């Protein structure tokens, strides 16, 4: 049993590396021994609303209620850990509520990493779209 | 000692969750650690401490530090295996040693896989953005290079963070090389004694620079398992002073950062 545990302990960092590559989970967490490989920058979360052809930041379109601000902060904290495994669905729903008559809410999550080839900070971005529910018929 | 000191310091952190119950955990762990000094209670007490640590890992997951896992596994092994039995004692020693080798090797290999140490990019970024790293490593940089790094903003396109300093680039590459080569030297009995000394020095310097004092202390203790038997026991007073020092620092100088 001890030997099996050590094998898991030895192989897990490889799985961790794959999860970082594929889902952008935090290299600093989840026991992959990859701390001090990439700086720890908190992800940036930008929320936009689209009304027809127009696309504007939510904060300009409808302000940002305190509940939405709280959910955004919470999501940033959790996203730093879980990366792309954690979609901002709750945040999207809250943003749709706040946006009122928006057609679509768009959430762009951005994280800075050092790109080894250029030695510069590069942004890894992922965009999530949340269409407003169509009005119910009848 | 390590676990209880770390739990007390965790309990004293104002921003950590769980409120006053953290102090109950710290008191319980202290009581258990003291009872573990009696041979009859050693393994039950260690089992209870291991469960406390596991509970803490689960409660803080995924924000749990990697250190916490190593700490839990070390305690769990001592609880699960009878160190006084010849067979289990040997298995315990080998398991702890293998954990050290795995952590050391993967720490180095991950740096190679991430590619941020060949031109000291990671160190450059940390020198740029963290004053503790600037203090620790800035002295070996030309003044102009330090100023350049510290002028770099945190935004896409910023850089380059590759450091224009041969000593720092050599140091950066030495870090992962040492981490990957030391396990082999620790395994081979002919080089073990020298490797233990090298590993202790390496760990002490690196973890102090990173202010990861608790991880450094734990890892040093585990590294000493490669040394002659009984070395850990002889160095106990030194570790006791270290832990007391950390506790007093947290109490008297809470602004001083360490992990």
Q: What is the pLDDT of residues B121-152, one digit of tens each?
A: 999 999 999 888 888 888 889 999 999 999 99
Are B99 and B70 in contact by the 8 Å Cβ rule? The answer is: yes
Q: How far is residue A89's CA from residue A23's CA, in Å, rounded to a whole number? A: 16
Residue B118 C-alpha, separation from nearest chain A C-alpha, in angstroms: 9
Comparing alpha-carbon positions, the chain B residue that sits nearest to A37 is B111
β-pair partners for A100 = none
Buried b / exposed e along B99-110 (16+ C-beta atoms within 10 A): bbbbbbbbbbbb
Instruction: Supply A43's token pair.
Output: 């992800």
- Residues of chain A positioned with their CB less than 8 A from the CB of B69: 31
What ipTM score was computed for the predicted complex, to two decimals? 0.87
Comparing alpha-carbon positions, the chain B residue that sits nearest to A2 is B95
Q: Do B110 and A33 touch (CB under 8 A)?
A: yes
- Residues of chain B positioned with their CB less than 8 A from the CB of A82: 62
Q: Is A30 exposed, middle or buried (0-12, 13-18, 19+ CB in 10 A)?
A: buried
For the cut 90, the answer to whether the pLDDT of residue A26 exceeds it is: yes
Lowest mean pLDDT among A45-49, A116-120, B101-105, B131-135: B131-135
Per DSSP, A129 falls in state E
What is this structure's pTM? 0.87
- Residues of chain B positioned with their CB less than 8 A from the CB of A37: 110-111, 113-114, 116, 122
The B residues from 139 to 178 touching A (CB cutoff 8 Å) are 154-162
Are A106 and A55 in contact by the 8 Å Cβ rule? The answer is: yes
For the cut 70, the answer to whether the pLDDT of residue A136 exceeds it is: no
Higher pLDDT, A37 or B26: A37
| pLDDT tens-digit series, residues A34-78 | 999 999 999 999 999 998 888 888 887 777 788 888 899 999 999
pLDDT band at residue A135 using 50, 70 and 90 as cut-offs: low
Residue A133 C-alpha, separation from nearest chain B C-alpha, in angstroms: 33
Neighbours of B22 (CB within 10 A): 18
Choosing among A1, A9, A43, which should be mutated to test the B contact, i.e. which has the most B CBs within 10 A? A9
Are B168 and B120 in contact by the 8 Å Cβ rule? The answer is: yes
Instruction: Supply B238's token pair.
Output: 């030194």
Are B110 and A27 in contact by the 8 Å Cβ rule? The answer is: yes
The residue ranges of every structural domain in chain A are: 1-39, 41-138
| pLDDT tens-digit series, residues B208-255 | 878 888 888 889 889 998 987 777 778 888 888 888 888 888 888 777
Of all residues in chain A, the percent with pLDDT exceeding 90 is 70
Crossing angle for the helix pair B21-35 and B39-60, to the nearest 10 degrees: 150
Q: Is B215 exposed, middle or buried (0-12, 13-18, 19+ CB in 10 A)?
A: buried
Radius of gyration of chain B (CA): 20
- Looking at every residue in chain B, the average pLDDT score rounds to 89
For the cut 70, the answer to whether the pLDDT of residue B15 exceeds it is: no
pLDDT of residue A81: 95
Q: For residue B186, report the phi and psi dihedrals to the nearest 5 degrees.
A: -75, -30
Mean local confidence (pLDDT), B101-114 = 96
Comparing alpha-carbon positions, the chain A residue that sits nearest to B206 is A36
pLDDT band at residue A13 using 50, 70 and 90 as cut-offs: very high
| pLDDT tens-digit series, residues B169-218 | 999 999 999 999 999 999 999 999 999 999 999 998 888 878 888 888 88
Q: Which of B183, B209, B213 is nearest to B198 (CA)?
A: B183
Neighbours of A70 (CB within 10 A): 11
Q: How far is residue B87's CA from residue B93's CA, in Å, rounded to a whole number? A: 10
């Amino acid at each position: 049993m001890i030997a099996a545990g050590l094998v898991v302990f030895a192989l897990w960092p490889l799985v961790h590396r794959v999860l970082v590559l594929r889902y952008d989970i935090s290299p600093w967490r989840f026991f992959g021994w990859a701390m001090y490989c990439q700086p720890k920058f908190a992800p940036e979360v930008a929320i936009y609303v689209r009304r027809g052809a127009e696309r504007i930041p939510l904060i300009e379109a409808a302000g940002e209620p305190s509940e939405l601000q709280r959910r955004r902060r919470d999501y940033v904290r959790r996203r730093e850990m879980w990366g792309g495994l954690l979609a901002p669905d709750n945040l999207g729903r809250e943003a749709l509520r706040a946006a009122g008559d928006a057609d679509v809410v768009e959430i762009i999550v951005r994280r800075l990493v050092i790109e080894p080839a250029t030695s510069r900070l590069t942004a890894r971005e992922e965009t999530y779209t949340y269409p407003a529910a169509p009005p119910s018929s009848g | 000692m390590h676990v209880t000191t770390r739990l007390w310091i965790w309990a004293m952190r104002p921003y950590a969750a769980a409120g006053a119950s953290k102090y109950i955990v710290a008191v319980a762990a202290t009581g258990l650690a003291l009872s573990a000094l009696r041979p009859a209670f050693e393994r039950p007490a260690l089992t209870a401490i291991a469960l406390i640590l596991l509970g803490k890992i689960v409660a803080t997951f995924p924000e749990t530090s990697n250190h916490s896992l190593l700490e839990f596994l070390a305690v769990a092994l001592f609880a699960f295996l009878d160190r006084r039995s010849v067979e289990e004692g040997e298995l315990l020693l080998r398991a702890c040693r293998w954990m050290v080798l795995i952590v050391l090797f993967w720490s180095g290999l991950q740096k190679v896989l991430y590619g941020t140490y060949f031109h000291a990019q990671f160190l450059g970024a940390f020198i740029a953005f963290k004053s503790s790293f600037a203090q620790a490593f800035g002295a070996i940089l030309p003044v102009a290079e330090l100023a350049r790094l510290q002028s770099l903003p945190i935004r896409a396109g910023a850089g380059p963070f590759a450091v224009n300093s041969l000593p720092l680039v050599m140091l950066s590459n030495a870090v992962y090389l040492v981490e990957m080569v030391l396990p082999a030297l620790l395994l081979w009995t002919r080089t073990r004694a020298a490797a233990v000394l090298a590993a202790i020095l390496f760990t002490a310097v690196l973890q102090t620079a990173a202010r990861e004092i608790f991880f450094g202390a734990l890892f040093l203790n585990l590294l000493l398992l490669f040394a002659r038997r009984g070395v850990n026991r002889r160095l106990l007073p030194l570790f006791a002073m270290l832990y007391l020092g950390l506790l007093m620092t947290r109490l008297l100088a809470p602004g001083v950062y360490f992990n």
